[in-house]
């Protein structure tokens, strides 16, 4: 073998080896794929009803109101390799996205998982409240401490689960009231919070400090609204996180509390975060969720308005996209589909 041929052979082997090693190197991306889809009118994987209502008359329902999910591979604890990422880029069903979109650099995977669990719990509370608001059922709201920031004035004085009932002697029943009152306070002002813990009332007087911007007075608590429902509503979905099932939960609760099946036997799926007033917000992974819905048999997919443009470019054949701005308009759209009367809002770019 000539020297030139030997050199080319060695170089080719080195290039092949480098390519092989490079393809196996972990990369900071995650692969999003279609996940399970579950009927909110049916049972979960343990055979339990997804939604049960006790203390209020319910009505038989049929058909499907499915929420959809996304599964993923990768993340800080087990990154995918370059070869997997390249293969995902070529796969229509898979989306390869930067890891930091789902795993912020300042949070561990455990913290992200905990946040997803909290978001699912919040979405269930909001879905219940939205459904009951739509039905005109009055609700009581409580202000609950969800977290306490370390090193801030509330640290060691308040704790998660405390109910804030008053601020400087004025009764409060929503986080908006507390936020509005705090906006009028100056850095260094004293604030007295009345909280209920274990059935007992106590007061805590705290001196406000500056927030990270240096402009607002804070005491270092994260607050959230908790609703006191007039009857029991349980939602059981197993080990699923995130807020995007809220719209479908609210629809199912509304369906169970009103005569006649909302879907009239049709297979309707959808997604969307919902707030207590019934407003629907966009979510991530819309392409994978539509694929999962169509594979399961859905013919109609409820889509948040701000997801419509992206959804139109990836809509599976046979799946009708219906724009869902609010719980109320989603119910109207489903009624229009099942009766053939009325306007069905379509997704547009």
Active site residues: 244, 289
Burial annotation 207-217 (CB, 10 A radius, 16+ → b, else e): ebeeeeeeeeb
């Amino acid at each position: 073998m000539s020297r030139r041929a030997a050199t080319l052979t060695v170089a080719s082997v080195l290039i092949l080896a480098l390519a092989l090693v490079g393809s196996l190197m972990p990369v900071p991306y995650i692969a999003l794929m279609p996940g399970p889809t579950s009927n909110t009118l049916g049972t979960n994987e343990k055979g339990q009803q997804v939604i049960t209502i006790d203390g209020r008359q319910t009505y038989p329902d049929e058909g499907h109101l499915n929420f959809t999910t996304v599964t993923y591979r990768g993340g800080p604890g087990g990154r995918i390799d370059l070869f997997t990422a390249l293969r995902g880029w070529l796969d229509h069903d898979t989306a390869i996205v930067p890891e930091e979109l789902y795993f912020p650099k300042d949070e561990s995977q455990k913290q992200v998982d905990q946040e997803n669990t909290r978001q699912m719990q919040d979405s269930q509370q909001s879905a219940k409240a939205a459904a009951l608001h739509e039905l005109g059922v009055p609700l009581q709201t409580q202000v609950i401490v969800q977290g306490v920031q370390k090193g801030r004035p509330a640290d060691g004085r308040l704790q998660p689960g405390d109910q804030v009932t008053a601020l400087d002697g004025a009764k409060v029943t929503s986080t908006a009231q507390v936020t509005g009152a705090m906006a009028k306070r100056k850095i260094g002002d004293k604030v007295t919070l009345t909280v209920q813990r274990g059935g007992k009332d106590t007061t805590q007087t705290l001196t406000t400090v500056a927030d990270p911007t240096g402009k607002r007075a804070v005491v270092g608590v994260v607050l959230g609204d908790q609703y006191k429902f007039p009857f029991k509503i349980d939602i059981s979905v197993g080990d699923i996180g995130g807020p995007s099932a809220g719209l479908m939960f609210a629809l199912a609760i509304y369906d169970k509390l009103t005569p006649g099946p909302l879907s009239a036997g049709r297979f309707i799926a959808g997604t969307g975060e919902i707030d207590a007033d019934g407003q629907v917000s966009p979510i991530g992974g819309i392409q994978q969720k539509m694929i999962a819905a169509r594979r399961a048999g859905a013919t109609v997919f409820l889509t948040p308005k701000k997801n419509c443009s992206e959804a139109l470019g990836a809509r599976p054949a046979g799946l009708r996209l219906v724009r869902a701005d609010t719980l109320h308009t989603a119910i109207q759209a489903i009624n229009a589909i099942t009766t053939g009367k009325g306007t069905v809002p379509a997704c547009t770019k």
